[in-house]
Amino acid sequence: MAKQGLLLVVSGPSGCGKGTVCSRLIQNPAFLFSVSATTRQPRPGEIPDVSYHYITKERFLELVEQDGFLEYNRYATGDMYGTLKEETERKLASGCNLILEIDVNGARQIRARFPEAVLIMIAPPSMDELERRLRKRGTETEESIAKRLRRAGEELKEAPGYDYLVVNESGEEGLQKTADAIFAIVSAECCKPRRKQELLSALNITK
Protein backbone atom coordinates (compact mmCIF):
# COMPACT_ATOMS: atom_id res chain seq x y z
CA MET A 1 0.00 0.00 0.00
CA ALA A 2 1.33 3.45 -0.91
CA LYS A 3 2.08 5.70 2.03
CA GLN A 4 -0.25 8.61 2.64
CA GLY A 5 0.92 11.88 1.12
CA LEU A 6 1.00 15.19 2.96
CA LEU A 7 -1.57 17.93 2.46
CA LEU A 8 0.39 21.17 2.13
CA VAL A 9 -1.61 24.36 2.57
CA VAL A 10 0.23 27.32 1.03
CA SER A 11 -0.95 30.87 1.72
CA GLY A 12 0.51 34.32 1.32
CA PRO A 13 -0.27 37.86 0.21
CA SER A 14 -0.85 38.71 -3.43
CA GLY A 15 2.54 39.49 -4.95
CA CYS A 16 4.58 37.29 -2.60
CA GLY A 17 5.15 34.75 -5.37
CA LYS A 18 3.28 31.79 -3.89
CA GLY A 19 1.87 30.74 -7.27
CA THR A 20 5.35 30.68 -8.79
CA VAL A 21 6.64 28.72 -5.80
CA CYS A 22 3.85 26.14 -6.17
CA SER A 23 4.62 25.81 -9.88
CA ARG A 24 8.24 25.05 -9.01
CA LEU A 25 7.23 22.45 -6.43
CA ILE A 26 5.01 20.46 -8.79
CA GLN A 27 7.93 20.00 -11.19
CA ASN A 28 8.81 17.28 -8.68
CA PRO A 29 6.67 14.17 -9.45
CA ALA A 30 6.07 13.59 -5.73
CA PHE A 31 3.88 16.72 -5.65
CA LEU A 32 0.45 17.41 -7.11
CA PHE A 33 -1.54 20.62 -7.24
CA SER A 34 -5.05 20.62 -5.83
CA VAL A 35 -7.72 21.66 -8.35
CA SER A 36 -10.47 23.72 -6.72
CA ALA A 37 -14.15 23.67 -7.63
CA THR A 38 -15.75 26.98 -8.56
CA THR A 39 -19.10 28.33 -9.68
CA ARG A 40 -17.64 31.04 -11.90
CA GLN A 41 -17.35 30.73 -15.64
CA PRO A 42 -14.03 29.70 -17.29
CA ARG A 43 -11.76 32.53 -18.38
CA PRO A 44 -9.84 32.54 -21.68
CA GLY A 45 -7.04 29.98 -21.60
CA GLU A 46 -8.40 28.05 -18.63
CA ILE A 47 -8.94 24.31 -19.00
CA PRO A 48 -11.83 22.51 -17.23
CA ASP A 49 -10.65 20.05 -14.55
CA VAL A 50 -7.11 21.39 -14.91
CA SER A 51 -7.50 25.06 -13.98
CA TYR A 52 -10.68 24.48 -11.97
CA HIS A 53 -13.60 22.10 -11.70
CA TYR A 54 -16.43 24.28 -13.04
CA ILE A 55 -19.78 23.42 -11.47
CA THR A 56 -23.14 25.11 -11.04
CA LYS A 57 -24.11 26.97 -7.88
CA GLU A 58 -26.83 24.39 -7.32
CA ARG A 59 -24.30 21.53 -7.42
CA PHE A 60 -21.90 23.49 -5.21
CA LEU A 61 -24.56 23.97 -2.55
CA GLU A 62 -25.50 20.30 -2.77
CA LEU A 63 -21.88 19.39 -2.03
CA VAL A 64 -21.86 21.78 0.93
CA GLU A 65 -24.92 20.00 2.32
CA GLN A 66 -23.27 16.62 1.71
CA ASP A 67 -20.05 17.65 3.53
CA GLY A 68 -18.23 17.39 0.22
CA PHE A 69 -15.70 20.16 0.84
CA LEU A 70 -12.69 20.42 3.13
CA GLU A 71 -13.05 24.18 2.86
CA TYR A 72 -15.05 26.65 0.80
CA ASN A 73 -15.62 30.38 0.45
CA ARG A 74 -18.07 32.75 -1.17
CA TYR A 75 -16.51 35.95 -2.50
CA ALA A 76 -17.93 39.44 -2.99
CA THR A 77 -18.63 38.62 -6.66
CA GLY A 78 -21.02 35.89 -5.52
CA ASP A 79 -18.75 33.17 -6.93
CA MET A 80 -17.90 30.23 -4.69
CA TYR A 81 -14.67 28.24 -4.49
CA GLY A 82 -13.96 25.05 -2.57
CA THR A 83 -11.61 22.11 -2.08
CA LEU A 84 -13.29 18.79 -2.85
CA LYS A 85 -12.96 16.36 0.04
CA GLU A 86 -13.19 13.12 -1.95
CA GLU A 87 -10.63 14.21 -4.55
CA THR A 88 -8.23 15.35 -1.84
CA GLU A 89 -8.43 12.03 -0.02
CA ARG A 90 -7.96 10.08 -3.25
CA LYS A 91 -4.85 12.00 -4.28
CA LEU A 92 -3.30 11.76 -0.83
CA ALA A 93 -3.97 8.00 -0.78
CA SER A 94 -1.87 7.73 -3.96
CA GLY A 95 1.16 8.74 -1.88
CA CYS A 96 1.67 12.13 -3.54
CA ASN A 97 2.00 15.33 -1.56
CA LEU A 98 -0.92 17.59 -2.44
CA ILE A 99 -0.41 21.37 -2.61
CA LEU A 100 -3.43 23.49 -1.79
CA GLU A 101 -2.96 27.21 -2.51
CA ILE A 102 -5.66 29.05 -0.54
CA ASP A 103 -6.19 32.16 1.55
CA VAL A 104 -5.99 32.42 5.33
CA ASN A 105 -9.73 31.85 5.78
CA GLY A 106 -9.54 28.57 3.86
CA ALA A 107 -6.43 27.59 5.81
CA ARG A 108 -8.32 28.01 9.10
CA GLN A 109 -11.03 25.70 7.81
CA ILE A 110 -8.47 23.12 6.76
CA ARG A 111 -6.81 23.27 10.18
CA ALA A 112 -10.15 22.49 11.82
CA ARG A 113 -11.22 19.77 9.36
CA PHE A 114 -7.86 18.16 8.56
CA PRO A 115 -5.43 18.57 11.50
CA GLU A 116 -2.73 16.54 9.74
CA ALA A 117 -2.33 19.27 7.09
CA VAL A 118 0.91 21.24 7.06
CA LEU A 119 0.28 24.98 6.85
CA ILE A 120 2.97 27.10 5.19
CA MET A 121 2.85 30.90 4.94
CA ILE A 122 4.88 32.47 2.11
CA ALA A 123 6.01 35.98 2.99
CA PRO A 124 7.83 38.72 1.05
CA PRO A 125 11.22 39.86 2.38
CA SER A 126 9.69 43.28 3.18
CA MET A 127 6.57 45.31 2.53
CA ASP A 128 8.64 47.61 0.30
CA GLU A 129 9.62 44.62 -1.84
CA LEU A 130 6.01 43.48 -1.97
CA GLU A 131 4.96 46.92 -3.21
CA ARG A 132 7.74 46.84 -5.82
CA ARG A 133 6.49 43.48 -7.12
CA LEU A 134 2.91 44.71 -7.31
CA ARG A 135 3.98 47.80 -9.24
CA LYS A 136 6.12 45.70 -11.57
CA ARG A 137 3.00 43.92 -12.80
CA GLY A 138 1.91 47.12 -14.50
CA THR A 139 -1.74 46.18 -14.10
CA GLU A 140 -2.50 47.69 -10.71
CA THR A 141 -3.94 51.14 -9.97
CA GLU A 142 -2.69 53.13 -6.99
CA GLU A 143 -5.92 52.32 -5.19
CA SER A 144 -5.54 48.62 -5.95
CA ILE A 145 -1.93 48.57 -4.74
CA ALA A 146 -2.87 50.30 -1.49
CA LYS A 147 -5.73 47.83 -0.97
CA ARG A 148 -3.49 44.82 -1.63
CA LEU A 149 -0.85 46.10 0.79
CA ARG A 150 -3.44 46.58 3.52
CA ARG A 151 -4.76 43.11 2.86
CA ALA A 152 -1.21 41.71 2.95
CA GLY A 153 -0.68 43.15 6.40
CA GLU A 154 -3.86 41.48 7.64
CA GLU A 155 -2.92 38.13 6.09
CA LEU A 156 0.59 38.16 7.54
CA LYS A 157 -0.88 38.65 11.02
CA GLU A 158 -2.18 35.09 10.64
CA ALA A 159 1.36 33.67 10.28
CA PRO A 160 1.66 32.56 13.95
CA GLY A 161 -1.21 30.14 13.31
CA TYR A 162 0.75 28.38 10.56
CA ASP A 163 3.30 25.61 11.02
CA TYR A 164 5.99 27.32 8.95
CA LEU A 165 6.84 30.79 7.64
CA VAL A 166 9.04 30.89 4.52
CA VAL A 167 10.37 34.13 3.06
CA ASN A 168 10.39 34.19 -0.73
CA GLU A 169 13.40 36.27 -1.74
CA SER A 170 13.65 37.89 -5.17
CA GLY A 171 15.02 36.34 -8.33
CA GLU A 172 15.60 32.78 -9.50
CA GLU A 173 17.99 32.03 -6.64
CA GLY A 174 15.43 33.22 -4.11
CA LEU A 175 12.70 31.14 -5.72
CA GLN A 176 14.83 28.00 -5.61
CA LYS A 177 15.72 28.62 -1.96
CA THR A 178 12.04 28.90 -1.14
CA ALA A 179 11.25 25.67 -2.97
CA ASP A 180 14.17 23.92 -1.26
CA ALA A 181 12.92 25.12 2.14
CA ILE A 182 9.53 23.57 1.47
CA PHE A 183 11.11 20.31 0.28
CA ALA A 184 13.03 20.28 3.58
CA ILE A 185 9.80 20.89 5.50
CA VAL A 186 8.20 17.90 3.80
CA SER A 187 11.20 15.70 4.59
CA ALA A 188 11.09 16.73 8.24
CA GLU A 189 7.33 16.21 8.50
CA CYS A 190 7.63 12.71 7.03
CA CYS A 191 10.07 11.81 9.81
CA LYS A 192 7.73 12.73 12.66
CA PRO A 193 6.83 9.70 14.78
CA ARG A 194 3.08 10.32 14.43
CA ARG A 195 3.49 9.74 10.69
CA LYS A 196 5.44 6.51 11.24
CA GLN A 197 2.79 4.37 12.89
CA GLU A 198 3.43 1.31 10.70
CA LEU A 199 7.14 1.42 11.53
CA LEU A 200 6.44 1.86 15.23
CA SER A 201 4.08 -1.11 15.14
CA ALA A 202 6.69 -3.25 13.41
CA LEU A 203 9.22 -2.27 16.07
CA ASN A 204 6.64 -3.09 18.74
CA ILE A 205 7.08 0.28 20.45
CA THR A 206 3.65 1.79 20.02
CA LYS A 207 1.59 2.55 23.09
pLDDT the model gives residue 41: 94
Least confident of 18-32, 101-115, 135-149: 135-149
Q: Outline where the chain has alpha helix (H).
A: 18-25, 57-65, 85-93, 104-113, 127-137, 142-156, 171-190, 197-202
Better-scored residue on pLDDT, 139 or 207: 139
Res 104 pLDDT > 70: yes
pLDDT the model gives residue 1: 42
Q: State which fold the 7-34+97-202 domain adopts.
A: Rossmann fold (3.40.50)
Residue-wise pLDDT tens digits, 52-99:
999 999 999 999 999 999 999 998 889 999 999 999 999 999 999 999
Beta 7-11 vs 118-123: how paired, if at all? parallel
Dist. CA 95–CA 100, nearest whole Å: 15
Residue 167: pLDDT band (50, 70, 90) is very high
Better-scored residue on pLDDT, 56 or 3: 56
pLDDT the model gives residue 93: 94
Residue 3: pLDDT band (50, 70, 90) is confident
176-203 mean pLDDT: 86
Q: Is 205 helix (H, G, I), strand (E, B) or coil?
A: coil
The DSSP secondary-structure symbol of 163 reads: S
pLDDT the model gives residue 145: 93
- Listed by start position, the domains of the chain span 7-34+97-202
pLDDT the model gives residue 206: 59
